[in-house]
Amino acid sequence: MKKCLLLIVALVWQLQAQAQQSNPPFWNEIQTFKQQDSVEMPPQNAILFVGSSSIRKWTNVQEMFPKYTLINRGFGGSTLLDLKRYLNDIVIPYQPKQIVIYSGENDIAAGNVEAPEVLQRFQDVFQSIRQELPQVPVMFVSIKPSPSRIKYKPIIEESNRLIKDYLKTQPKTAYVNVYKPMLQRNGKPKPEIFIQDSLHMNQQGYQIWKKKIKPSLIK
């Protein structure tokens, strides 16, 4: 009987481990969001901020924009591929009145994509949103110049340019350039606006974002 019980426990553990391995990246984070939504769904007609850790770590974004109703659905380390995968979980259901996207930096940091591929991934996300929410304005926040990723500067700059040019051809869009204001006069990133990891921003950095993003937010 004891051996049988141990076998059952081992089998359950193995099945759970296999299930975890088969889940796509950030599955647990997305399930946490969905659990929160099941308890209390965020208000519709809000402005949705979505993307990677620069959005996730913007914990006081609502305080910075007190006259707006915001939803933060950043999940750290994510790429444009991940964002597309979870559009039906953390974007479409909210029926937002505007979507603010920061994503693409981690795609580049993975080291296996060039700027045209970043553009294609963004286009896939954008077009998927347009299919479901054709009238909702979309804002893209340019990929930032992180000191720890300075070697990717040429790809980041080209990716930003390609996405900016693409959005010029699309209605109800905005491209927000936070890249340039985050640079010193010598063209290097401002070290004082980043935390110790030289990747994520402190409040000085987010103040730059606030100043650049606010004029394009819909009231």
| Residue among 49, 20, 4 at smallest CA distance from 176 | 49
More confident residue, 21 or 76: 76
Residue 140 domain flag: yes
Q: From start to end of the chain, where are the E strands?
A: 47-51, 70-74, 98-102, 138-141, 173-176
The residues with which 74 forms a beta bridge, in sequence order, are 51
Whole-number percent of the chain with pLDDT over 70: 90
CATH number of the domain residue 112 falls in: 3.40.50.1110
Mean pLDDT computed over every residue of the chain? 93
- Whether 23 contacts 45, CB under 8 Å: no
| Count of the separate structural domains present in the chain | 1
| pLDDT above 50 (res 113) | yes
Q: Which residues 6+ apart lie within 8 Å of 203 measured at CB?
A: 60
Q: 83 lies in a domain?
A: yes
Q: Which of 142, 148, 156, 146 is nearest to 201 (CA)?
A: 146
Residue-wise pLDDT for 122-169, tens only, equals 999 999 999 999 999 999 999 999 999 999 999 999 999 999 999 999
Range of the domain at 117: 42-216
Predicted local confidence at residue 1, as pLDDT: 53
73-95 pLDDT, tens per residue? Answer: 999 899 999 999 999 999 999 99
pLDDT of amino acid 179: 98
What is the reported pLDDT for 76? Answer: 86
Does 73 fall in a domain? yes
Structure confidence at residue 12 (pLDDT):
40
Residue 208 lies in a domain: yes
More confident residue, 85 or 5: 85
**Residue 170 falls within a domain, yes or no?**
yes
Domain annotation covers residue 183: yes
Domain contains 76? yes
Is 104 a member of any domain?
yes
pLDDT confidence of residue 7: 46
State the pLDDT confidence band at 3, using cuts at 50, 70 and 90.
low
Predicted confidence (pLDDT) at residue 13 exceeds the cutoff of 90: no
Amino acid 56: pLDDT: 97
